[in-house]
A and B are shown apart, each in its own frame.
Chain A
Amino acid sequence: MSLSEEEVRHVALLARLALTDEQVETLGAELNSILGHIDAIQQLDLADVEPTSHAIPMVNEVRADEPRPCLSREDALRNAPMAQDGAFVIPQIVGPGGDLS
């Protein structure tokens, strides 16, 4: 399989990466070269094989629902690029000017 320029732009949007035209071109070529190698995996007949998500058997763990100390608000905000009144600052996302498309 290989990616067209349009697909590279689509994947970049899904990945939330604003790429330059030059990056789109370079990445397209690099990704196609990598995919060309990875596609070897399509040769395997794995129709009757179960997929593995983790190599070690695991069960979901649920902890007791009890209050306990956690990260303080100050620490949680310490690395925020913008914070105000104890909260993260984000651009407007509801109403005019918002865009979550």
Chain B
Amino acid sequence: MKRFLCVCFVLFIALIPALVFAGGQAEVTTKTAETSVEKPLTYWTVGGDFYKAEKIAINSFNKKNPDSPVIYNPIPAGSSSEMIIQTAIATGTAPTITANLEVFFANFLAENDALVALDTLPGFDELIKSRSSEGFMDSIKAADGHIYVLPQTWKPALFIYDKKLLNQAGFDTPPVTYSEFNEFASKVIGMGDYIAIDFDPTAAWWKVGYYWHTFYMAAKGNVQELSKDGLDTKSEVSVAFVEFANNAFKNGYASVNKDKYKFKEFANVGCMACAGSHEIKKVKNMRPDAEVVAAVPPVPDFIGTNAGSWVDASVKGLAIIKNSGSVEKAWEYIKWRFSNPEFDLNQLEETGELPMRADLLKNSMFRDYLDDNPGLDEYIKFVPRSHCVMSSDKYDIYNAVKKALWEPIAYQKKDVRTALIDAEKAVQAVLAK
């Protein structure tokens, strides 16, 4: 008996490395085999609530096509999904379809020949007809004139105010100018352990970009702060925005203690700066009794009124990655998914993110949900008046701005002038590379 056990033990242990090697081998051989035949269709969705929504769509697609099902996973989290996707493409572990691609980044990948041009695929024009207002598709074209992303969501960025605090501070409607906002802020912090605005002192690059872009467009209309010459740090609108942020941190309207003041959880923040529509849903989850109002960010006093302002909207969507599986099948799935409006409604209900559709306000399908969630109307109004940043240096530029300007301002280590000069230098250094 003992001898038998010993033999079993040895065999088991000897098997493990063998299995591991064999497993590795098997993976390699199947991979090489698949490149000649066919890779399974893999799809990276956005994680969290989005995953729940997409699951429904994918499962019903798989039911119809049991032979070639879509294998789906959420995008692995990391410092940013862009980096993850880039690494995945570089290391050959990318999925066939990936969601959550911002247009600027997709165009950057397209320059490196990593994506499939969608407008060359059959039926593209019909598919997008229902999905976007005219002219929009032109604005997301890459330098070579092709479209690489199928927009899935609109993310206009607005301010979400706590209605109770707004009224207590003596405001019926959200403040319009910086000085009005400051008045609101000083009243809010006067009421006790509150802050007025949840500026994130350690904001990631994309959030810094969100702030800057949204404030900038609110004041200037449909003009981008990022161009080929870099970031506009010199115009009076930019200076006014940085001064506004500096003022907020200096006077305690915003706090660096970001774990303490959380709009979503603790009812001690006046407003959420530059938040997407999905935040409304999250607030409701954590604080069911909270009432919120969405509004455009305030504008500098010399602009005066924000009528006709524009806001930032990062358009995110799906792209097909080259050499990672069958393009036809991927396209078939995408067409199927986006020609069925019920999945868009499903997405809206699960995530609170606006599906990219031209008929959001008109289509009766969405009416019920919008009536239940009054904040969302405001977002939809801004859909035609929002725009996203296209510069492919966005990642590097805003990373530089975060280090040179945003964090020093938040922690009050630099004054506005030096911060702006440093930011300009850092951006130029990025462009020089």
Chain B associates with chain A:
no
